[in-house]
Structure 1
Amino acid sequence: MFGLSGTAAHGLSGTGSSDYREPKSTANPQKCWPCELLNYPNKESYRFLLTSPRLCTVGRLTPPRSSAGRCGGDPPLTHVTLVWQEGLREDWLRFGKPVGQRIIDRRTRVESYKPGQLFAFVRWASNEYGTIRSALAIARAVAAGDTYSTVPQVDPGAEILLSVRGWPKVRRVLGLIDGIEQGGTDPCDVAPEHWRHMHNRLAAGMQPRAYHPDRHGVWLRYRNLRP
């Protein structure tokens, strides 16, 4: 039985099979973190360097947003819609720590993140001819006034740190995330610069550097010193 949030009890991503085709057959549902049939999507790109995303500004270039998920002077939240239709459309969060959740129906839910939080989502879909979509993105929720990239099913958008398409690339990134966890680091706390490094190395066909615990310690100290 899976809970609606949290990733502490999740196992590895099920990346060992070389003939992987559908999450229904080989993806570990413990990584999907839906409750029964709950989950949904996003879009990103591949083969580009993450240096200058499309610029938008929260609260200025986007339509007025719903007040749902905000109270008084609370910062604006980033809402990620997830859908789960087993064997047809299976989208899940690989990691993330939402501060809120709204269940739409037995297949759909919306999870909310406060500015600065990282999350990774995987999108997969198929039809009678086989897999038609397999993608993974790691993103950071933005604050009011920050620039961001517009992303389907992410309201209003997010800062994309890493983005790949096609199962071989998705599987490789899942394996790299597994390696970070096996090293004792929570992916939610990894330095954003490392995800950008990973994206650019993969786009160039190169092996990303390992995320060493010492480097992570330096990042945590730096993060705690920032105002």
Structure 2
Amino acid sequence: MTGSATSRRCEDPRPSGPRPLITFVELTWVEKRVETWIRFGRHTCEEIINRHRRVLGFPANTVFCFVRWAANDYGTILSRLDIIRAVDEGTPFQTLSFVRPGGEILLRVSGWPKVWSALQAIDAIQTRGIDPAHVSPDYWRHVHNRLTAGQEPRAYTVEQHRAFLLRRRAGP
């Protein structure tokens, strides 16, 4: 698990407000049954519910990868990977299981072969010395589209990343 865990509890800063400025993700870990984890992303708070469940909080506009896997007595029944951007107040969002209030889905794949391909794309980015949480959202959409079409996504290069950072610095 990556991120910057703190001992601060994840509490809704405005329980009576329209929606929180923190995106909450509930993680469950029951060995060989239900395993959910964050592959990358920086959370700002963590609340341990019990020995199998905890909640992480991500500030608005941060990107993180949420992986879910589940099995029964006969084998795997769920493999899913979502790359999500945490939403800010007033921003439209999609709802996801175990993510409150939801987020902007940049990549969503189901089924172990596609999840494995997405994990390989993340690993390739990290081997280039780039934090996947800082990659261009358009690249994650590209990976989503290519994997959905059954094609290999193009590699994310250091030059692409540099150009993305310069565009972001220049503003809208």
Give the aligned CA root-mean-square deviation in angstroms. Answer: 2.0
TM-score, normalisation: structure 1? 0.68
| Misfit runs of 4+, over 6 Å | none
Supply the distance in 1 between the matched residues of 2:13 and 2:167 (Cα, whole angstroms).
Answer: 29
Paired residue for 2:22? Answer: 77
Distance between the aligned counterparts of 1:223 and 1:103, measured in 2?
35
Q: Contact 2:26 / 2:54 at 8 angstroms: preserved in 1?
A: yes
1:168 — aligned with what? Answer: 113
Instruction: Say which of 3, 11, 16 aligns to 1:6.
Output: 3
1:1-227 map, 5 Å: 6=3, 68-70=11-13, 76-226=21-171
- The 1-side partners of 2:170 and 2:61 are apart by 15
Quote the Cα distance in structure 1 between the aligned partners of 2:47 and 2:26. Answer: 9
**Whole-Å separation in 2 of the counterparts to 1:88 and 1:82:** 13
Secondary structure of residue in 1 paired with 2:24: strand
Secondary structure in 2 aligned to 1:91? strand
Flag the structure with more relative contact order, 1 or 2, with Cα contacts below 8 A and sequence separation at least 6. Answer: 1
The Cα of 1:205 is off from its aligned counterpart by 1.8
TM-score, with length taken from structure 2: 0.88
* Contact 2:83-2:107 within 8 A present in 1 as well: yes
Displacement of 1:114 in angstroms is 1.0
Instruction: Tell me the percent identity.
Output: 46
2:60/2:86 contact within 8 Å kept: yes
Please list the CA deviations of residues 74-109 of structure 1 after superposition, one character each: whole Å capped at 9, or x if unmatched. x71100000000011111111110011111111111
Count of aligned positions: 163
Determine which structure has the larger strand proportion and give its number.
2
SS at match of 2:39: strand
5+ residue gaps, structure 2, are 15-19
